[in-house]
């Protein structure tokens, strides 16, 4: 597929951002200033000031001599890249891959995207309308390389669309500075009377190399497509994604459901062809002049069932804010897994991983209340109870060791809590214990179960565990840390509760 790139040049980027936040400044000459060698120097000017001769680099005193009462604000150059990065995220509605250049330029990889807006002209028009609505003044161009698109935004006619594989033809009438060359080299061309890129290309390459160096040839090759330019996207693109643009802003839930259904159908066809299922999916709606709204869902196992994924999204539709209308939709699947033809058991018993009812129930609970609210655990190769389990990665993960054959509490405290105990010695169970100020009189007990120190960790001392029941019928799991010895009274701890 022929590559195409859009360059967005914010001609008054920092000024526009200031005016967006303070609309009253829009009709007045305004500059941004910064201290340089003890004097205030203009770093940016709006169009009104610019037409009256104010430009970057002149002192504020000289500018006010030209325009009495000129408004000035302190520049914040350290924030420009952060602001531009945020706009790069905003451009995700137009393409999955957006890159920054300097502090006033964005590049969009438009390959395979413009047809969603009708054609290339419609695509550029949509981008311009989006930024006009926010309040940014932009110049746009589309070409087969980022370098050519950059040249056309600054030195060509606004909204130029270079023909496929003919971007150099669109650059022939532009000055050499459009190649992003060193100012000293541009000055040499001016002295030599080389006013256009066309005149440069008429000189044989060996002569250009000999007289002007490799940097010139590299820039020519970058603009023509003979040499790849670096590309660092604002956000790494997701491999599996589908987009849908709407002719009119969507303001109804029925419209959102129809868009999601269409995107899921396309996505499922693609994933089935590759034998993959969804583990995570993100549905995003891009609103006019507003931040995007997104819903993220996850599944406990790879899923190719459109209905099941749709229902997970449907549970979260109440989180979508549709005003002032969604202009385009994006469905991303950042995590996929191969779909196994024969599923393994979830755990010993009647439930198996290919039980769709159980799997769907788990997905609905985790998506509604949070993934941390439901988990599956497997035994770990440790003796101490707080280390003897680990969270499973998925429903089909196999255990590598067996669960203990003895009874364990339903609720295990992550950190044992110290209690006061009255107990005969040496190995009798306690008669009563005090926990958080409450005395529990024990009516029955079972134990001890001795769990020794884990020799490969060399940490802690041996424990003697007892299952005890108080008069209220509540059962507890207590342990004594260490052994009774002359002059030594070991501590007791509460470690869990039985049902």
HEC readout, the chain: CCCCEEEEEECCHHHHHHHHHCHHHCCCCEEEEEEECCEEEEEEECHHHHHCCCCCCCEHHHHHHHCCCCEEEECCHHHHHHHHHHHHHHHHHCCCCEEEECCCEEEEECCCCHHHHCCHHHHHHHHHHHHHHHCCCEEEEEECCHHHHHHHHHHCCCCEECCCCCHHHHHCCCCHHHHCCCHHHHHHHHHCCCCCHHHHHCCCHHHHHHHHCHHHHHHHHHHHCCCCCCCCECCCCCCEEEEEEEEEEECCHHHHHHHHHHHHHHHHHHHHHCCEEEEEEEEEEEECCCCCEEEEEEEEEEECCHHHHHHHHHCCHHHCCCCCCEEEEEEEEEEEEECCCCCCECCCCCCECCCHHHHHHHHHHHHHHCHHHCCCEEECCCCCHHHCEEECCCCCCCCCCCCCCCCCCCEEEEEEEEEEEECCCCCCCCCEEEECCEEEEEEEEEEEEEECCECCCCECCCEEEEEEEECCCCEEEEEEECCCECCECCEEEEEEECC
Residue found under tokens 């597929």: 1
Looking at CATH, the fold of the domain delimited by 240-338 is given as Dna Ligase; domain 1 (3.30.1490)
pLDDT of residue 1: 64
pLDDT of residue 264: 95
Q: Between vectors from CA 130 to CA 129 and to CA 136, what angle results, nearest 5°?
A: 90
pLDDT of residue 346: 46
pLDDT of residue 465: 93
pLDDT of residue 320: 82
pLDDT of residue 343: 45
pTM (2 d.p.): 0.63
pLDDT of residue 445: 92
Region 5-59+75-166: CATH code: 3.30.70
pLDDT of residue 371: 67
Residues 296-307 as b or e (16 or more Cβ within 10 Å = b)? ebebbbbbbebe
pLDDT of residue 331: 93
Cα–Cα distance, 198 to 482 (Å, whole number): 89
Q: What is the pLDDT along the chain (499 residues), one digit of tens a residue?
A: 688 999 999 999 999 999 998 898 888 899 999 988 888 999 988 889 888 888 888 899 888 989 888 898 998 888 888 889 888 888 888 988 899 988 899 999 999 888 888 899 999 999 999 899 888 999 999 999 999 999 999 999 988 999 888 899 999 999 999 999 999 999 999 999 999 999 999 999 999 999 999 999 999 999 998 888 888 888 877 889 898 888 788 888 999 999 999 999 999 999 999 999 999 999 998 887 677 888 999 888 888 889 999 999 988 888 888 888 888 899 999 989 888 754 444 444 444 444 667 777 777 777 777 766 677 788 888 888 888 888 877 666 777 778 887 888 989 998 999 999 988 776 788 899 999 999 999 999 998 888 888 777 777 788 999 999 999 999 999 999 987 777 778 899 999 999 7
């Amino acid at each position: 597929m022929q590559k195409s790139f859009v360059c967005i040049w914010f001609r008054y980027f920092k000024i526009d951002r200031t005016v967006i936040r303070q609309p009253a400044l829009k009709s007045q000459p305004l500059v941004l200033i910064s201290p340089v060698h003890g004097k205030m120097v203009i770093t940016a000017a709006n169009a009104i000031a610019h037409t009256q001769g104010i430009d970057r680099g002149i002192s504020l005193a000289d500018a006010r001599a030209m325009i009495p009462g000129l408004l000035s604000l302190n520049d914040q150059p350290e924030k420009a890249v952060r602001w531009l990065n945020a706009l790069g995220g905003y451009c995700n509605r137009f393409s999955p891959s957006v890159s920054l250049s300097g502090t006033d330029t964005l590049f969009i990889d438009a390959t395979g995207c413009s047809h969603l807006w009708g054609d290339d002209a419609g695509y550029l028009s949509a981008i311009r309308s989006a930024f006009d609505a926010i309040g940014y003044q932009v110049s746009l161009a589309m070409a087969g390389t980022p370098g050519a698109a950059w040249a056309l935004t600054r030195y060509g006619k606004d909204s130029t669309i270079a023909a496929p594989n003919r971007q150099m033809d669109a650059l022939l009438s532009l000055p050499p500075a459009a190649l992003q060359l060193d100012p000293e080299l541009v000055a040499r061309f001016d002295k030599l009377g080389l006013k256009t890129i066309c005149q440069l290309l008429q000189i044989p390459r060996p002569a250009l190399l000999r007289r002007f160096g490799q940097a010139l040839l590299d820039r020519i090759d970058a603009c023509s497509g003979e040499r790849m330019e670096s590309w660092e996207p604002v956000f790494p693109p997701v491999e599996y994604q589908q987009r849908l643009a709407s002719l009119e802003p969507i303001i109804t839930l029925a419209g959102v459901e129809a868009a999601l259904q269409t995107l899921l159908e396309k996505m499922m066809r693609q994933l089935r062809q590759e034998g993959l299922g969804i583990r995570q999916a993100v549905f995003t709606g891009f609103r006019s002049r507003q931040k995007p709204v997104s819903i993220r869902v996850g599944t406990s196992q790879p899923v190719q069932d459109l209905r099941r994924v749709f229902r997970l999204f449907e549970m979260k539709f109440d989180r979508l804010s549709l005003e002032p209308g969604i202009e385009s939709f994006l469905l991303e699947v950042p995590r996929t897994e191969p779909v196994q033809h024969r599923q393994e058991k979830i755990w010993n018993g009647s439930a198996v991983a290919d039980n769709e009812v159980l799997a769907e129930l788990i997905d609905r609970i985790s998506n509604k209340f949070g993934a941390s609210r439901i988990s599956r655990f497997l035994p770990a190769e440790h003796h101490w109870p707080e280390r003897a389990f680990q969270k499973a990665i998925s429903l089909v993960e196999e255990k590598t060791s067996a669960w203990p054959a003895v009874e364990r509490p339903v609720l295990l405290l992550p950190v044992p809590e110290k209690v006061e105990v009255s107990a005969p010695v040496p190995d009798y169970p306690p008669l009563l214990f005090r926990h958080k100020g409450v005395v529990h009189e024990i009516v029955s007990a079972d134990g001890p179960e001795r769990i020794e120190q884990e020799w490969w960790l060399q940490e802690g001392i041996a424990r003697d565990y007892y299952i005890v029941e108080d008069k209220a019928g509540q059962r507890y799991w207590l342990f004594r840390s260490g052994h009774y010895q002359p002059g030594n009274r070991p501590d007791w701890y509460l470690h869990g509760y039985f049902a």
